């Protein structure tokens, strides 16, 4: 039973007495004390669920996984911000944002400290926003080679030149979506974006059509639109966030 429920039960109990019906000054005072107590309890509860849990996220854009189809030689990610949105059983929803504003290279790890309010989260998601920073012509750049089924290959260059978001659901170490955070226990988590898995799932017909010309396959908002749209619409399928 919640604190306000307890107060309401107590109030109804007092209301059964004739004194309250007759507007007894004594019982009026008791009623006022009950409601004052309720506000104090509720205020204390609100403060409790605002207390933070110190979370450390190890963020990595992974592109060195073994792949027979694609070999990534370089990747750059202009990461603007990290946002968290969650629903807690004990308190209200949470939406918090933190600026990152860094160019993060593929296979490097960026450590981000983020204080999240404690509680039992029935759902908790994170969103990375990647945007063109000052002086950059793109939010993501990927360089590498694609190997075709006949053994030939073509170099490729992906330039994502619009703002994009990559979102994922936070999970506990055992894979459940319910995340429990306590201010008494610091938490570590990994955020891994698997670039190779994304590239390997691109339909081969898209690569073949893009390689119809000579030289490097260039993919941006003006060239090879099928490849471009596939990548920017599938980004969130390859982000994994797991507490350790």
Give 100-125 pLDDT, tens digit per residue.
Answer: 999 999 989 999 999 999 999 999 99
- Same domain for 13 and 79: no
- Same domain for 102 and 11: no
- Same domain for 12 and 81: no
Q: Residue 47: in which H helix or E strand, if any?
A: helix 25-50
What's the pLDDT at 208? 94
- Same domain for 46 and 65: no
- Same domain for 168 and 84: yes
Residue 199 has, within 13 A of its CA and on its CB side, a CA count of 27
Q: Work out the pLDDT band at 160, boundaries 50, 70, 90.
A: very high
Terminal-to-terminal C-alpha distance of the chain: 33
Per the listing, tokens 């955020």 go with 191
Give 49-80 pLDDT, tens digit per residue.
Answer: 579 999 999 999 988 777 889 999 999 999 99
CA-to-CA separations, 218 to 106, 141, 157, 162, 164, in angstroms, rounded: 19, 11, 5, 16, 19
Residue (of 75, 59, 57, 112) closest to 198 by Cα position: 75
The whole-angstrom distance between residue 30's C-alpha and the CA centroid of its chain comes to 48
Lowest mean pLDDT among 20-29, 82-91, 145-154, 193-202: 20-29
- Same domain for 28 and 64: no
What's the pLDDT at 12? 56
| Residues 6 or more apart whose Cβ sits within 8 Å of residue 141 | 74, 75, 76, 157, 158, 159, 160
Which range in 1-10, 20-29, 129-138 is most confidently predicted, on average pLDDT? 129-138
Q: Answer yes or no: is pLDDT of 134 > 90.
A: no
- Same domain for 151 and 41: no
Q: Work out the pLDDT band at 90, boundaries 50, 70, 90.
A: confident
What's the pLDDT at 42? 41
Count of structural domains within the chain: 2
Q: What is the mean pLDDT of the chain?
A: 84
Q: Work out the pLDDT band at 4, boundaries 50, 70, 90.
A: very low
Q: Work out the pLDDT band at 238, boundaries 50, 70, 90.
A: very high
CA-to-CA separations, 188 to 55, 67, 119, in angstroms, rounded: 6, 29, 16
- Same domain for 176 and 131: yes
- Same domain for 199 and 78: yes
What's the pLDDT at 203? 95
- Same domain for 129 and 176: yes
What's the pLDDT at 27? 55
Which residue segment(s) compose the domain that 30 sits in?
Answer: 3-50
240 with 177: CB under 8 angstroms?
A: no
CA distance 244 to 190: 7
């Amino acid at each position: 039973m919640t604190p306000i429920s307890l107060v309401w039960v107590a109030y109804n109990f007092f209301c059964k007495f004739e004194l309250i019906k007759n507007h007894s000054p004594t019982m009026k005072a008791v009623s006022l004390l009950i409601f004052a107590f309720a506000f104090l309890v509720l205020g204390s509860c609100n403060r409790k669920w605002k207390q933070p849990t110190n979370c450390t996220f190890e963020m990595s854009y992974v592109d060195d996984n073994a792949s027979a189809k694609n070999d990534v030689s370089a990747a750059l990610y202009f990461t603007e911000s990290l946002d968290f949105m969650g629903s807690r059983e004990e308190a209200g929803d949470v939406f918090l944002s933190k600026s990152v504003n860094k160019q993060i290279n593929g296979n490097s790890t960026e450590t981000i400290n983020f204080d999240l309010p404690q509680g039992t989260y029935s759902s908790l998601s994170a969103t990375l926003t990647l945007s063109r920073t000052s002086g950059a012509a793109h939010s993501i750049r990927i360089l590498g080679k694609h190997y075709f089924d006949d053994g030939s290959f073509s170099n490729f260059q992906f330039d994502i030149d619009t703002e994009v978001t990559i979102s994922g659901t936070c999970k506990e170490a055992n894979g459940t979506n319910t995340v429990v955070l306590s201010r008494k226990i610091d938490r570590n988590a990994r955020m891994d974006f698997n670039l190779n898995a994304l590239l390997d799932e691109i339909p081969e017909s898209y690569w073949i059509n893009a390689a119809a010309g000579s030289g490097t396959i260039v993919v941006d908002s003006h060239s090879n639109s099928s490849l471009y749209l596939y990548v920017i619409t599938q980004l969130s399928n390859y982000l994994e966030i797991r507490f350790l």
